[in-house]
Amino acid sequence: MDRKTRDRIVYWAVWLACFAPFVWLAAQAALGELGANPIERLIRQLGVWGLRLLIVGLAITPAARIFRQPRLIRFRRTIGLFAFAYVSAHLLTYVGVDQYFDLAAVWRDILKRPFITLGMLGFVLLIPLAVTSTNGMIRRLGPQAWRRLHWLIYAIVPLGVVHYYLLVKADHRPPLVYGAIVLALLGWRVVERLRSLRPS
């Protein structure tokens, strides 16, 4: 198998892995297998998958460096856009299905409930990253400005974790696990940065 074919296969495997939770949720919804409160389950699952993919996206750069696999970087955009798709579906299900487009109620929620305020902020910050994900936009912005803009992800992912933490009633261990992973991924960057600054 030549390298190009192999790349293709790997790319589609990643794409399918990202898409699989959507298919799984859609199938469960169609079969009525989402339990007694399907809307709540759907919102929760879409949100959790959005957060997981955001974290996977954050892990790519460290993984590429640590395992000396620079070509891993090419998956970052796909994973990031899938994360955006899940987060958008999560939000849309809350606004459209759960609240039935009662935008006044949604606005009250945003103002009043910190977990919704922070989740919403995270989503709003994700929009410019999704919009500027095309090659054309990267060129137009210039790599330097594009990179700076995309540093926003370092705020967005923690916002997602805090959003999750705040909505949990009692058992905070799952969001704390996500938080620890995010902390490690951000911590690695800080260490790398300090190392590169140190005169050798």
Partner 1 sequence: MLIRNGRGLTENDVTPHEIYLRRREFMAAGLAAGLGLAGGAAAAPLAFRPSKWSTDEKRTKLEDITGYNNFYEFGVDKDDPAKNAGRLKTSPWTIQIEGECAKPGRYTLEDILKTAPLEERIYRLRCVEGWSMVIPWIGFPLAALIGRVQPTSKAKFVSFETLMRPDQMIGQRSPYLDWPYREGLRIDEAVNPLTIMAVGLYGQTLPNQNGAPIRLVVPWKYGFKSIKSVVKIRLQETQPKTTWQMLNAREYGFYSNVNPAVDHPRWSQANERRIGEFRRRETLLFNGYGDQVASMYRGMDLRKFY
Residues forming the site for partner 1 (CB under 8 A):
35-37, 39-40, 98-100, 105, 108-109, 112-113, 115, 166-167, 169-173
Residue whose C-alpha is closest to residue 96's, from 110, 106, 107, 109: 106
Nearest distance in Å: CB 29, partner 1: 13
Q: How far is the CB of 16 from partner 1 (least distance, A)?
A: 27
Q: Which is nearer to partner 1, 68 or 169 (CB)?
A: 169
Task: Tell me how far, at minimum, the Cβ of 36 lies from partner 1, in Å.
Answer: 4
What is the SS3 assignment for 63-87?
HHHHCCCHHHHHHHHHHHHHHHHHH
Q: Which is closer to partner 1, CB of 112 or CB of 198? A: 112
Question: Running DSSP on this structure, what letter comes out for residue 96?
Answer: I
Residue closer to partner 1 by CB (options 37, 134) is 37
Amino acid at 81: L
How far apart are CB 112 and partner 1 at their closest, in Å?
A: 7
Report the interhelical angle of 153-167 vs 38-66 (nearest 10°). 140
User: Rounded to whole angstroms, how far apart are CA atoms 13 and 6?
Assistant: 11
* CA pair distance 58, 183, nearest whole angstrom: 11
Nearer to partner 1, 40 or 63 (CB): 40
Q: CB 192 → partner 1: shortest distance, Å?
A: 36
Helix 38-66 × helix 76-92 angle, to 10°: 160
Q: Which is nearer to partner 1, 111 or 194 (CB)?
A: 111
- Burial (Cβ within 10 Å: 0-12, 13-18, ≥19) of residue 162: middle
